[in-house]
Chains A and B, each alone.
Chain A
């Protein structure tokens, strides 16, 4: 709870600091804020508390996911260095919007009431709509913002529709009471149809937010058009919050209606896996590939939801952590390459292994992690998800499909590795990397390998 308050207050303070002449103070300040939030958040560990007459509950689940999302933002921020140098006049606003959207994401993992879920998603989304369009002079960025906003509002409406249906059937917004009220609905009749429709519509709404197929059409264009730094935030923190909220909703509110939504969820998962992985293969732009990759990882995360057993939450947690660290490193390197070589295509990475060994190595480790190759965190992410699913032997086919698609994944992730190490560079110019960004990249790389060797550090948290 304190983390929500702190983040909101810090966001407002940050806006005022924006009036200061020297923009260089902003980045250290935001980092400090986030460190404080990260620390304060950990104080709530093993101390489950409910707030605002049961609107929010801070339990270990919430603390763990808040921790991961705060840490992701922390690791991401050093890559905004170039913004600072360019003295963009709206820098303070961008940072504040990031903090506000983090508020939304914390609400999404700690809600106890559908209203809070809705408010959390909206706080998160509205900030993201603005950030998507933050590169004001770029047509692509404007397109991204508009597309994201229009589609996002539409699906928000759909979600609200679902929430209202469920309210109509059960008479409550509280997820615990919804869970209890299900028994009274009965198998037939209007109430039941309303309830079932409500669940399905809600599932569709959240699927949009985590860019699950077939509600993913916005994702490639929006990810591509959004400035790389915010794309990284979008595909890590937003996705983590979305999946965590999704799982919490299904467990706490609709566990009893498992058979109703299970086939839908399986269909969404399969489609997401296929669309994400196959779509990524045909891209020529690394950034667009990462957009599809984020769709495919939404698919792997949904597999943990399909498993729906005691191993699910830990595997979602670990997978999000592994996916976020690797994705941040990938976008971090991409941003630096893109800034100086003015392209986000695979070719822009040519010869990077020679000019910038550190960037190339960090990128290689992150690609290996995303591809799920051992020695990196991504391997254990896939491992935990697959084990969770296989606890139900009937779902073996899903694991086989995922295994085949994971092999497809290696194809597109390694294209950039090949470009970096095996293709000659067009120009041998070294890419400038800030010392802070290099330090962060080294830290992320070590973290990825560490989690790939000792996964128990995260997987045994919840």
Chain B
């Protein structure tokens, strides 16, 4: 019941928000998102963290004759992803307080509606429900980005929309095939998929069908071409939703629906994926160094980080998988914080060009501190959240293949280059015309950044709080893969 409440509350709240005229909608949306966060904490308290099994489960018949059920539940990985979503959404809503978007009721209703889709993806234990929620999460974000976005939004978001749907239709075809392979009257339950024993030829093509869908969403090189433009043209909140949470859908999809379902397919193609992921790391990092637009820079850094996560989880060892899970949390927190800081800078100077900024530290001490912490978290400095994830991921990749590990390790150096270069250009140096009268953080902005920075240190200093939640689930996953 707990899980169902978590899933449907945002959708209900979205309908409520839709009825509110004027800017009051953002307040109601914020309260609704906080309630959702409380619900998720309540779910956490009811969760047995020692067990790797699916908990707080609920299964109702959906299309009974076809054996398709409305089946939801959470294991440790799902729970962490749900917590990340419920933690970030209220902050994302709060971060929008200084904007007065037109039609605010629709804007905030779409955010909450998307939250239902996101949570649905993380708790779905039935393949078709998963696919359903996967698309439900996409539709609101498309409209948010396309209606409230920048000048070139229509073309860019349309590309994103068609691209991702194109990928996910392949996932649907693969799911239908898998479903028809289940014995008896067929079932699309996740465990029924885990028990399939398919020939390695069919696993091979199913692997690609599923992988394309997830790789586009993450995105992994060379499926990333939609991402920088979409991030740049979307309104700040949509960028945060896309990079902070939606990107995790792809990685989560790999963990839940790819690795354990077609283990032989994975063992045939894991090297290819690792190579792609590592090319992506280096390629995106180098492009990030060359960027002048702050949003584009973070967009490319996101591709690099996701590449490392993908490389880590495809090593199929415990470090890699655990590192992937913890890095999903860290990346979500850091990237949302960084995009928010870019939004703050943009709202005051009306530019995102690094070259036209500079000297902000002189006026805004508060902003500098928060920016630095988040930036260092992203660079993976020890004691910050990024370090834990990248350390585990890289050690996972090293165990798999030392050469791969060595090249992937470039991410740390290159990451430091583009991040520090950006920080230097924006914050230090002489003031430009635009940053002359830069004001420091408002209370509202601090209210968004403080929780994020607390999490940077929490994950950095006490990663076990989170690792212990996902560990049983990761071990369970590994035992299914290696059966």
Contact = CB atoms under 8 A, between A and B. Distances in A.
| Bound pair (A, B) | yes
Interface string B142-168: 010011000001100010011001100
A407 B169 contact: yes
Given A375-B135, A375-B139, A414 B161 contact: yes
Given A390-B176, A414-B158, A414-B161, A374 B64 contact: no
**Most interface-central of A368, A379, A422, A460 (chain B CB within 10 A):** A422
A361 B181 CA distance: 39
Contact of A386 (B132, B147, B161, B173): B173
Contact of B147 (A373, A374, A422): A422
Contacts of A418: 146, 154, 158
B9 interface: no
Q: Kindly list the 6 A-B residue pairs having the minimum CB-CB distance in the complex, ordered from nearest.
A: A407-B166, A374-B135, A403-B169, A374-B132, A456-B63, A387-B176
A98 to B, nearest CB: 34
B154 to A, nearest CB: 5
Given A399-B176, A460-B63, 9 more contacts: A375-B139, A379-B132, A386-B172, A390-B180, A391-B180, A418-B154, A422-B153, A454-B62, A456-B63
Nearest to A415: B158
A454 B176 CA distance: 18
A358 interface: no
Interface string B120-144: 0000000010011011100100010
A418 B134 CA distance: 22
A410 interface: yes
Contact of A373 (B65, B139, B179, B180): B139
Contacts of A11: none
Nearest to B63: A456
A383 B158 contact: no
Interface in B198-240: none
A184 interface: no
A374 B117 CA distance: 11
A235 to B, nearest CB: 24
A374 B137 CA distance: 10
Contacts of A396: 173, 177
A273 to B, nearest CB: 14
Nearest to A375: B136
A86 B185 CA distance: 56
B170 interface: yes
A368 B143 CA distance: 13
Contacts of B158: 411, 414, 418
B162 A410 contact: yes
A421 B147 contact: yes
**Most interface-central of B135, B143, B147, B172 (chain A CB within 10 A):** B172
Contacts of A421: 143, 146-147
A400 B161 CA distance: 19
Interface in A414-462: 414, 418, 421-422, 454-456, 459-460
Interface of B: 62-66, 128, 131-132, 134-136, 139, 143, 146-147, 153-154, 158, 161-162, 165-166, 169-170, 172-173, 176-177, 179-180
A414 B159 CA distance: 11
Contacts of B169: 403-404, 406-407
A399 B162 contact: no
A186 interface: no
Interface residues of A, number: 29
Contacts of A187: none
B180 A422 contact: no
Given A418-B146, A456-B65, A374 B177 contact: no
A407 B173 CA distance: 13
A387 B181 CA distance: 11
Given A374-B135, A387-B176, A403 B170 contact: yes
B159 to A, nearest CB: 10
Contacts of B64: 456, 460
A189 interface: no
B280 to A, nearest CB: 24
B165 A410 contact: yes
B166 to A, nearest CB: 4
Contacts of A404: 166, 169
Given A391-B180, A456-B62, A456-B64, A373 B135 contact: yes
Contacts of A459: 63, 65-66
A406 B167 CA distance: 11
A122 to B, nearest CB: 37
Contact of B162 (A375, A386, A403, A407): A407
B61 to A, nearest CB: 8
Interface in A373-398: 373-375, 379, 383, 386-387, 390-391, 393, 396
B139 A410 contact: no
A410 B139 CA distance: 12
Given A373-B135, A411-B162, A456-B64, A383 B147 contact: no
Given A390-B177, A396-B177, A418-B158, A403 B139 contact: no
A182 B173 CA distance: 37
B479 to A, nearest CB: 30
Contacts of B66: 387, 459
A393 B202 CA distance: 11
25 contacts: A373-B139, A374-B134, A374-B135, A383-B128, A386-B172, A386-B176, A387-B179, A390-B177, A393-B180, A399-B173, A400-B170, A403-B169, A404-B166, A404-B169, A406-B169, A407-B162, A410-B161, A411-B162, A414-B158, A422-B147, A454-B62, A456-B62, A459-B63, A460-B64, A460-B65
Contacts of A407: 162, 165-166, 169
Contacts of A411: 158, 162
Contacts of B162: 407, 410-411, 414
Nearest to B149: A422
A175 B319 CA distance: 66
A430 B68 CA distance: 44
A391 B134 CA distance: 24
Contacts of A391: 180
A373 B165 contact: yes
A373 B137 CA distance: 11
Nearest to B177: A390
B101 to A, nearest CB: 14
A399 to B, nearest CB: 5
A393 B161 contact: no
A306 to B, nearest CB: 15
A332 to B, nearest CB: 22
Contacts of B146: 418, 421-422
Contacts of A456: 62-65
A400 B205 CA distance: 12
B371 to A, nearest CB: 33
A454 B154 CA distance: 32
Contacts of A386: 172-173, 176
B170 to A, nearest CB: 6
B168 to A, nearest CB: 9
Contact of B172 (A383, A393, A410): A383
B226 to A, nearest CB: 14
Nearest to A386: B176
A415 to B, nearest CB: 9
Nearest to A421: B147
Nearest to B146: A422
**Most interface-central of B64, B66, B143, B162 (chain A CB within 10 A):** B66
Contacts of A373: 135, 139, 165
A418 B153 CA distance: 11
Given A400-B173, A403-B169, A421-B147, A387 B180 contact: yes
Nearest to A371: B165
Contacts of A422: 146-147, 153-154
A385 to B, nearest CB: 10
Nearest to A454: B62
Nearest to A460: B65
B177 A393 contact: yes
Contact of B131 (A374, A390, A455): A374
B170 A374 contact: no
